[in-house]
Amino acid sequence: MMQFDPNDLNSILPLVVLLGWACVLLLVDLFIPKGRKGWTAILAAFGLAISMGLTLGRAGQIGSGFRGMVVQDGFSTFLAVLILGSGLLGIALAYDYMRRMGWERGEFYPILMFSVSGMVLMAQAADLIVVFLALELLSIPLYVLAAFGSPRPDSEEAGLKYFLLGAFATGFVVYGITLVYGATGATALREIVDATFAMGTPSPLLLIGAALIMVGFGFKVAAVPFHMWTPDVYQGAPTAVTAFMAVGAKAAGFAALLRVFVLAFPLLQADLVPVIWALAALTMLVGNVIAIAQTNIKRMLAYSSIAHAGYILMAFVAFGDSAVRADAVASALFYLLVYAITSFGAWAVVIALEKKDGRGLEITDYAGLGRKRPALAAAMTVFMLSLTGMPPTLGLIGKFYLFRAVIDAGQIWLAVIGVLTSLISAYYYLRVVVTMYMREGEPETTREPWLDLTWSLAALATVVLSFLPAALFAWASGAILRLF
Amino acid sequence: MDLGIPLTHYLLVSAILFTMGALGVLIRRNALIVFMSIELMLNAANLAFVAFARSFEQTTGQPVFTGQLFVFFVIAVAAAEVAVGLALIVAIFRTKQTIDVDQLSSMKG
Amino acid sequence: MDFLTNPLNLVTFSPLVGVLLLLVLPSGRKNLLRWTALLVSLLTFGLSIWMLTQFQAAEAVAPGELHLGLSLPWIQVAGWNITYAMGVDGLSILLVLLTTFLTPLSILSTWTAVEERVKDFMLFFLLLEVGMLGVFLAQDLFLFYIFWEFTLVPMYFLIGIWGGPRRIYAAIKFFLYTMAGSILMLLAILYIGIQAGTFSVPELITALPGLYASGVIALGAQMLLFLAFTAAFAIKVPMWPLHSWLPDAHVEAPTAGSVILAGVLLKMGTYGFIRFNIPMFPDAAVKAAPWIALLAVIGIIYGAWVCYAQKDVKKLVAYSSVSHLGFVMLGLFALNAQGMEGAILQMINHGLSTGALFLLVGMIYEQTHTREIAVYGGLWKITPIFGSIMLVVSLSSMGLPGLNGFVGEFTILLGAFGSQAIGSPWFAGVAAAGVIMAAIYILYMFQKMFLGPEGSIVEEIKKHGHALRDLNWREIVIMVPLLVFIFWIGLYPKPFFDLMAPAVEKLVEALPQIVH
Amino acid sequence: MEALFNLVPLVVFLPVLGLLINMLFGGRMSEKAIGTVASAASGLTFVVSVLLGVALWAGHGHAEVVPFAEWIKIGTLDIPWNFRVDTLSVTMMLVVSVVGTLIHIYAIGYMHEDVRFKKDEKRFQRFFVFMNLFIAMMMILVSGDSYLMLFVGWEGVGLCSFLLIGFWYDMDTLGRPSWANSNAAKKAFIVNRIGDFGFLLAGLTMFWWFGSVQFGEVFNKTPFIPESIILAITLFMLIGVAGKSSQIPLYVWLPDAMAGPTPVSALIHAATMVTAGVYLIARSWPLYSAVPNAQFIVALVGAVTALFAATIAVGQYDIKKVLAYSTISQLGFMVAAVGMGAFVAGMFHLVTHAFFKALLFLSAGSVILGLERGHHHLAHHGPDSGQHEEVFDPGDMRNMGGLRKRMPVTFWLYMIGTLALAGIFPFAGFWSKDEILLEAARNYTVVYVLLVIAAFFTAFYMGRQIWMVFFGRSRHAAAEHAEESPKIITVPLMVLAGLSVLGGVLNLPGVHTLTHWLEHTIALAAEHGAEVGGFLALSWGGLNPVVALVSTLLALGAIYLSWLLYGRKPLEAGQKDPLKKILGPIFTGMENKWFVDEGYRAAFVDRYADLGRFLAEVVDGRFWHDFVHDKLIAGTYNWLSKIALDRYADQKGIDAFFNGLGELIKRISASLRRLQNGFVRSYALAVLFGVIAILGYLLLK
């Protein structure tokens, strides 16, 4: 009955390559001597690059496979590129960092690749089963990566916390999927939406199921009140992992949220809007307010990451409104991209200052950076400005796009909360700038080629692309969700 | 193989199991038991899944595999999780000599 | 190629040449850095003069229109209709010139005042100039917003790095206050953009009346939009009671920063009103006029009164800005030709006079390192040139006829007195009392510093083996151009009015008639 | 002849030229050269004024408007700088330039010594720059063709007044380091600005009702404007007049203005600037004539001021202070006159007063210099030169006495001035004052009574002054050694004395030269009176024997009374004023200027400062800055970031201010942060809480 269809593989070709490469690399790594694990990194990067090449090469194609369980469309391409890029940048950050910190182990890179595969799969998922699989495929390696700083207690603690809470959240997702299945008799998004249409008013079972799924992904993207793992895990995990996690996991989480809710649950819009509204508002508020009190830069950036999840959630409020949702999705994707570039840059700077013994992570350690490393400080300033949403950075452009979608959706008060909280955020971002330029100190920094390349490219992109955002806008707005 | 047990009963048991699991996560401090509670939550879902699948089978009169399929996936994935989770717990135990989750609070605020 | 040869672009971005040069120059060669910055800013000034001649040629053909503009598609995807639109008209030309005029003077004033991180200072200064020019020239809301927010960044650094002891506090306060206003404007901009389908200001001004008439944007919504824009501009101006950031920023900012802050940045607020608020939301502007006039008058009186109790001369000058800008706001919302032209002229006047005051205060501060009025006294005798220039500038600031301040204040009062939008001569009447109060605080400052017996600072300086010196040549060179304009505008303001008149008249004509 | 009119801009630009020369090159010029340039500038102005007068005379007094430059033009607002040459403005030009020139010449001598006594010779140059500036500004004032140009000059002379009162800004009148002089200067400027405020309001109202501020247009439209508006305009103007011409309630600055060098007091604070208010009302005659109520108020203000200031003058000891209050009083006469519609009488008194009051001031300056010389002489040559370092006030009449012999020329000049001021036949003051009294007697009895009493006091305090200064014995060693002034000082005085004697010729009863001259500008009652409905009295009536007799007798009586008190038994050194015994507390009031300054200080000045401090410290500082910003906004932020950046030195102070909203958000944030306790189980609880909240909402809604 089941026949092999080459088209099935074709639809997930970059993923297949990635997974295959990861498996092979796991073996190859055995033969790479300790101390030269850089080769593993480079090979992993190659794998990611090939996969990215394939994705880009097939950018225009639209298709599906495995009886519609996975799809390939603009949305998945956009996210796949974003995620693969994050993987590459993660490797660039980890390359010297892991060695410097004494955590260099070859399996790091294949594990990272597995996680990337999960994220890419998530972007393509069109069936709740695949969603679940992708969720686990991206999460389980992340648990390991978070604990990769073992035997440092922070890292292990981060790993276990992430693992326990992640699994806990997965429980909700699974139960949610169960209830949705129970309500509609389907796990494929298309069938769910058909069943919902047939149903007329959504049954409570469906609503609860959808809500539980939302909780699970809310956890992944670190929405309040499911965010509490974030600061601890971000702080404890090796910084390179944190950077990757902050972008990749968030991207995957939003990929799932957007695709599942926009395509499968548009009819729940009326019921869920207040919930998402509250989640977004709370996330922006709590994230920004608590960030003010942070002294540890990793924790601060963690809260910042929570806050930015809140901003993206704003766009998500309009998921069921067919008039504006295309724009909403595009703006969310664009904002994800902006956040990815900026946040990688910021984490790279953090890595440049981090010491083996864990010093260099307090904000006060940044004092005098403006004098000692003008370029590095300038780059950090750019990132902070971008996170605040000031020109001349992508952050402002991202906010422009995002807020337009929110206003277009009629959620003006949510937009007001959004801008007001971004005002609050200015305070703690500026504090970093203040410390770098207006306080005296002797920061110790590290110069590593890949690291330097990462932050300088990120800074350059943040500034330059802000003047030329048209292509990015077009790309994001072309990333339309499709369902087969 | 209709046992004559209505769907709602399965669902009730499943809900009770799920709640027990969730509460277990909240109440127990031993990482292993916390983990087991999570497994309980997953299995509660599995139970509901199978029950749903059976019930659809009865209403439509056709075999429905989706539910069972999903359950297999969940079981398999849970197994993978166990592998990773236990490894983490072991690592923690080595460092801290405890698997009490309340001892894992060096980072906060 | 249009983009590169457009006069407005050349003016706006020419300071970037300096930025690039400064980046490659060694940071140890301080004088080289200073000269580079100065020459580049002079180049910008020269270009702006060239732009002026072209503007005048174009104005002769089509008076009151936007000139030298260019409008290039910038972001035309995904439902966005953003253009890179620049243009200059009578409302902005003077402010552009003021900016390019004050910048070299400010740079020159830092010659000995800024010894630390000269390179960074000049970098930020030139970047600031780009931002300011962009604000005045942008004709697309999106572009405008970018320039608007961008000016915050260099100014923030200028205060925060080279400022006084409480500089960080002041810098953050400056940043947050301004941002607080502008984020609400951001939402309003987006709302308008969505409703009108364009961000281009000229297009909006043509398109919006239709939207108002058809009810797409109701009057209530128009009021809210007006308020959102007002929030941004009123904080920047600053209108009472949103002025709390200003004294802090001024007191802590380095001299050159204060000059630019008072001279140009505050004008961005008032300019915003006349460029966006009034033409885009005419009904709301007419409705709000009495309220804004009320705040303006309170600001005039309050600022002047508070000035009198100041012990710190820089703070005094800072509060005087609150009072002076109150006049500008009063004039703008008179919504008639006299008031608005007076207001625009007064923006320039305030830039010149208050800029000059800050420069002078900076010059003496450089020698004495104190701004406390009480320690001074009898300076006119010791430093006659300094005293005389200070006198002229002070008189200009208090609006003595024959000097620039009077022309502006008088026309504003005249406009406001008979303004139908404001609706009552009482506002102007009370505001006129501001001229008495201005005399009180200005004379208080001048007397306590320059008249009377020698102050304790003279002894203090002698103890350190120095003597108070009069202005040196560099300082005189800074002051002379300012004095020239102070007299010029005072005695023969016609050329200045001529530049703005057609544009203002066009604006006034477009306003709804007020029927009582 | 017509072409001569085009010379009129020169009246402004000649002095400007003079001041520019002195300003730019004065540093390298001798004192003589500086003085000559300045005097020549002023003198040439006089020549131009004469030429203009000739041209007018030739053209039968037809006014001429000479366009000069465009100034402010916005929409309907069009204010060019035009010169107006008519009989009124030329009269003022002549007065200003003739008195101005004489005083310039006098000042060459006076300032030569003054700068040496005050030990700052460099200031000589500055003095003449300011003086020329004053002439220029005064000329702008009188020659402008619009209220706004008048206002420009109006404020300009105010500035010059400020600069010249504060000429010795670093000392008091006795040369001690002090804030006194600069305070006086500041006071003058600020009080004047209060008046200017009134003027400004008048101008604003005028523009919006008349559509113009040009004299011609305004006057033409007057009949068509509601009376209430004209009343408002005229009363606003009165505020301006009270400021500039030092009338109640704004007269307080003028006595203090005596801090300036004596030529300044003579020129600005007696002869010219302070009469600008009178000129303004005379110029605005069509407006005032249209509203009798305003006229009465103006007349009353003038009359009350005349009497009030005269009473104070009686109690003063400073030679210049007496003259200052006398000036205020005489200005009251003039204001009363123009208020009653007796514009010519007012202008007539303005002219004669300019002559004799300048004469008096300059002679007083001569006296002061004489005493200074005497004091100086003692300090250097006297037997006990060391002891004369004590503070010596050369202007205090109690230090004088018997100067008649030491300074005979000055004495006689002073006598002439006194007689003119007291209104003794046939000196100039007699004629002009009499005209005013006559008009008052005709129109308002109350004004007449007030003015007559004031005239009595005038004669009395002048007599008192003469006796105290020139008769009796010297009460101070300096007075014994006083020396007569040099020619450069006395010669201009003689010219002024001549004018004071003969000034009455200008408008002798029956001849009415001035009336005929001015009627070209100020229209005849017959032509306008019916229309405008107010008073427009031109002095045709000539001499009323009763009025003249009453005032002359009163003046003589007052002088006799003063002889009884001060002449018969001269004051001894250290003796109290004999009036003090007689009048008791009333004299204390006169001595202390009726405590008006103190009253103003308590009622306004201190309150202004208090409110300023309150606004600055409490409202702006504690409320807006500390509370709203630092406590509510920044306080919240700061608490949130308190752990970070302990080195935020300046925020520690702010932390102390927590309360209100800051406290609330502090608690919220604290509890939020406590939730983040690091325990997995509480994190899970949060998740569960979220789930329950969402499900609860979805199921219960």
Q: Provide the H-helix boundaries in D401-511.
A: 403-406, 408-422, 428-443, 445-470, 477-480, 487-502
**Domain hosting residue D661, numbered range:** 623-691
**Domain hosting residue B90, numbered range:** 7-96
Q: Which residue of C has its CA nearest to D154?
A: C401
User: For residue A379, what are the CA distances in angstroms to A365, A385, C26?
Assistant: 16, 10, 20
User: For residue C491, what are the CA distances in angstroms to C405, D84, D548?
Assistant: 11, 19, 50
Residue A44: predicted pLDDT: 93
- Asked if the bond preceding D286 is cis, omega within 30° of 0, the reply is no
CATH number of the structural domain spanning residue B14: 1.10.287.3510
**Phi, psi (deg, nearest 5) at residue A199:** -70, -30
Summarised one tens digit per residue, pLDDT across range D554-580 is 989 999 998 888 888 887 777 788 888
Subunits that touch chain D (at least 3 Cβ pairs < 8 angstroms)?
A, B, C
User: What residues does each domain of chain A span?
Assistant: 8-477
Interatomic CA distance for residues D658 and D395, integer angstroms: 61
Interatomic CA distance for residues C231 and D465, integer angstroms: 67
> Is the CB of residue C327 less than 8 Å from the CB of residue C428?
no
Helix axes D343-381 and D87-117, enclosed angle (nearest 10): 10
Subunits that touch chain C (at least 3 Cβ pairs < 8 angstroms)?
A, D
In a domain, D308, yes or no: yes
Collapsing DSSP to helix, strand or coil, C68 comes out as strand
User: Is A204 near chain B, with CB under 8 Å?
Assistant: no
In a domain, D164, yes or no: no
Eight-class DSSP state of D626? I
Across the interface, whether the CB atoms of C75 and A391 are under 8 A apart is answered no
User: Chain A partners of C157 at a C-beta cutoff of 8 Å?
Assistant: 437
Q: Which residue of A has its CA nearest to C167?
A: A438
Helix axes C141-162 and C201-214, enclosed angle (nearest 10): 120
> Is the CB of residue D679 less than 8 Å from the CB of residue B105?
yes
User: Chain C partners of D70 at a C-beta cutoff of 8 Å?
Assistant: 494
User: Chain D partners of C338 at a C-beta cutoff of 8 Å?
Assistant: 74-75, 77
Arithmetic mean of pLDDT over chain B: 85
CB proximity list for D526: less than 8 A, separation 6 or greater = none
Average pLDDT over residues D152-165: 92
User: Is A174 near chain B, with CB under 8 Å?
Assistant: yes
User: Is A299 near chain B, with CB under 8 Å?
Assistant: yes
Residues of chain C with pLDDT under 70: 1, 514-516
Interatomic CA distance for residues B51 and B13, integer angstroms: 11
Q: Which residue of C has its CA nearest to D69?
A: C492
Q: Which of C311, C82, C277 is nearest to C188 (CA)?
A: C277
D478 against D408, higher pLDDT? D408
Least confident of A29-33, D271-275, D626-630, D655-659: D655-659
Residue D37: predicted pLDDT: 93
Residues D641, D492 within the same domain: no
Q: Please classify residue D503 by burial: count the beta carbons closer than 10 Å to its beta carbon, then call 0-12 exposed, 13-18 middle and 19+ buried.
A: buried
Query: C410-435: b or e for each residue (b if 16 or more CB lie within 10 Å)?
Result: bbbbbbbbbbebbeebebbbbbbbbb
pLDDT band at D661 (very low <50, low <70, confident <90, very high): very low
pLDDT band at D527 (very low <50, low <70, confident <90, very high): very low
Which of A207, A226, A269, A423 should be substituted to probe chain D, the one whose Cβ sees the most D Cβ atoms within 10 Å?
A226
Residues D554, D415 within the same domain: yes
Q: Which of D46, D49, D63 is nearest to D2 (CA)?
A: D63
How many other C-beta atoms are found inside a 10 Å radius of the C-beta of residue D123? 19
Total CB pairs under 8 A between chain C and D = 160
How many structural domains does chain D have?
Answer: 2
Element (H, E) at D84: strand D77-85
Q: Which residue of B has its CA nearest to D680?
A: B101
D292 has a pLDDT exceeding 90? no
Interatomic CA distance for residues A277 and A417, integer angstroms: 11
Interatomic CA distance for residues A416 and D670, integer angstroms: 25
Summarised one tens digit per residue, pLDDT across range A382-413 is 999 999 988 889 999 999 889 988 988 888 89
Q: Which residue of B has its CA nearest to D674?
A: B109
Residue D536: predicted pLDDT: 46
User: Is B61 near chain D, with CB under 8 Å?
Assistant: no
In a domain, D441, yes or no: yes
Nearest residue, CB atoms, D673 vs list B27, B104, B109: B109
Residue C273: predicted pLDDT: 93
User: Is B34 near chain A, with CB under 8 Å?
Assistant: yes
Across the interface, whether the CB atoms of A160 and B104 are under 8 A apart is answered yes
CB proximity list for C29: less than 8 A, separation 6 or greater = none
Across the interface, whether the CB atoms of D73 and C494 are under 8 A apart is answered yes
Structural tokens at position D410: 């000055």
User: Is C167 near chain A, with CB under 8 Å?
Assistant: yes
Question: What ipTM goes with this model?
Answer: 0.86
User: What is the least distance, in Å, from the CA of A363 to any CA of chain D?
Assistant: 8
> Is the CB of residue A198 less than 8 Å from the CB of residue A191?
no
Residues 323-342 of A with CB under 8 A from C: 327, 330
Arithmetic mean of pLDDT over chain A: 89
> Is the CB of residue D623 less than 8 Å from the CB of residue D633?
no
pLDDT band at D542 (very low <50, low <70, confident <90, very high): low
Residue D604: predicted pLDDT: 83
Residue D26: predicted pLDDT: 85
User: Is A165 near chain C, with CB under 8 Å?
Assistant: no
* Chains B and C in direct contact, meaning 3 or more beta-carbon pairs closer than 8 angstroms: no
User: Chain A partners of B100 at a C-beta cutoff of 8 Å?
Assistant: none
pLDDT band at D379 (very low <50, low <70, confident <90, very high): confident
Q: Is the dihedral of CA B15, B21, B23, B25 positive or negative?
A: negative
pLDDT band at D128 (very low <50, low <70, confident <90, very high): very high
Q: Provide the H-helix boundaries in C62-166.
A: 93-109, 118-137, 141-162
Residues D545, D643 within the same domain: no
Summarised one tens digit per residue, pLDDT across range B39-72 is 999 999 999 998 888 888 888 878 777 888 889 9
Across the interface, whether the CB atoms of A295 and D643 are under 8 A apart is answered yes
Nearest residue, CB atoms, D190 vs list C414, C443, C505: C443
Query: Largest alpha-carbon pair distance within chain D?
Result: 116
User: Chain A partners of C176 at a C-beta cutoff of 8 Å?
Assistant: 423, 426-427, 430
Which of B32, B102, B103 should be substituted to probe chain D, the one whose Cβ sees the most D Cβ atoms within 10 Å?
B102
User: What is the least distance, in Å, from the CA of A307 to any CA of chain C?
Assistant: 17
Cα dihedral D103/D106/D107/D108 (nearest 10): 130
Residues 133-152 of C with CB under 8 A from A: 142, 145-147, 149-150, 152
> Is the CB of residue D515 less than 8 Å from the CB of residue D539?
yes
Across the interface, whether the CB atoms of C149 and A396 are under 8 A apart is answered yes
Average pLDDT over residues D293-307: 91
> Is the CB of residue A317 less than 8 Å from the CB of residue A63?
no
Nearest residue, CB atoms, D152 vs list C401, C436, C497: C401
Interatomic CA distance for residues A400 and C185, integer angstroms: 12
Across the interface, whether the CB atoms of A228 and D689 are under 8 A apart is answered no
Sequential DSSP letters for D12-44: HHHHHHHHHHHHHHGGGS-HHHHHHHHHHHHHH
Contacts 24+ apart (CB under 8 A), D615-619: D615/C302, D615/C305, D615/C306, D615/C309, D616/C305, D616/C306, D616/C308, D616/C309, D616/C310, D616/C319, D617/C309, D619/C302, D619/C306
> Is the CB of residue D161 less than 8 Å from the CB of residue D257?
yes
Place of tokens 């999840």: A309
How many structural domains does chain B have?
Answer: 1
Interatomic CA distance for residues D591 and D583, integer angstroms: 11
Residues D648, D577 within the same domain: no
Q: Provide the H-helix boundaries in D144-251.
A: 147-165, 180-210, 215-221, 227-244
Q: What residues form DSSP beta bridges with C312?
A: C372
Element (H, E) at C397: helix C384-397
User: What is the least distance, in Å, from the CA of C37 to any CA of chain A?
Assistant: 20
Across the interface, whether the CB atoms of B21 and A177 are under 8 A apart is answered no
pLDDT band at D671 (very low <50, low <70, confident <90, very high): low
Interatomic CA distance for residues D562 and D461, integer angstroms: 7
Interatomic CA distance for residues D103 and D358, integer angstroms: 8
Sequential DSSP letters for D233-292: HHHHHHHHHHHHTT-TTSTTHHHHGGGS-HHHHHIIIIISGGGHHHHHHHHTHHHHHH-H
Across the interface, whether the CB atoms of C187 and A390 are under 8 A apart is answered no
Least confident of A251-260, C481-490, D281-290, D477-486: D477-486
pLDDT band at D531 (very low <50, low <70, confident <90, very high): very low
Across the interface, whether the CB atoms of D615 and C400 are under 8 A apart is answered no
Nearest residue, CB atoms, C187 vs list A371, A385, A407: A407
pLDDT band at B100 (very low <50, low <70, confident <90, very high): confident
User: Is B70 near chain A, with CB under 8 Å?
Assistant: yes
Average pLDDT over residues A96-118: 91
Q: Please classify residue D230 by burial: count the beta carbons closer than 10 Å to its beta carbon, then call 0-12 exposed, 13-18 middle and 19+ buried.
A: buried
In a domain, B35, yes or no: yes
User: What is the least distance, in Å, from the CA of D193 to any CA of chain C?
Assistant: 5
Nearest residue, CB atoms, A275 vs list D644, D645, D697: D697
* Chains D and C in direct contact, meaning 3 or more beta-carbon pairs closer than 8 angstroms: yes
User: Is A204 near chain D, with CB under 8 Å?
Assistant: yes
User: Is A156 near chain D, with CB under 8 Å?
Assistant: no
A188 has a pLDDT exceeding 70? yes
Would residue D593 be called left, alpha or beta, if left means φ above 0 and alpha means ψ between -120 and 50 degrees?
Answer: left
Interatomic CA distance for residues D178 and A392, integer angstroms: 56
Would residue D584 be called left, alpha or beta, if left means φ above 0 and alpha means ψ between -120 and 50 degrees?
Answer: left
Average pLDDT over residues D73-93: 87
Residue A2: predicted pLDDT: 58
User: Chain D partners of C443 at a C-beta cutoff of 8 Å?
Assistant: 162, 186, 189-190
Residue D530: predicted pLDDT: 36
User: What is the least distance, in Å, from the CA of B106 to any CA of chain D?
Assistant: 7
Nearest residue, CB atoms, A171 vs list B21, B66, B108: B21
Which of D641, D642, D675, D681 should be substituted to probe chain B, the one whose Cβ sees the most B Cβ atoms within 10 Å?
D681
User: Is A209 near chain B, with CB under 8 Å?
Assistant: no
CB proximity list for D471: less than 8 A, separation 6 or greater = D401, D402, D404, D566, D567, D570
Q: Which residue of A has its CA nearest to B32?
A: A164
Across the interface, whether the CB atoms of A165 and D689 are under 8 A apart is answered no
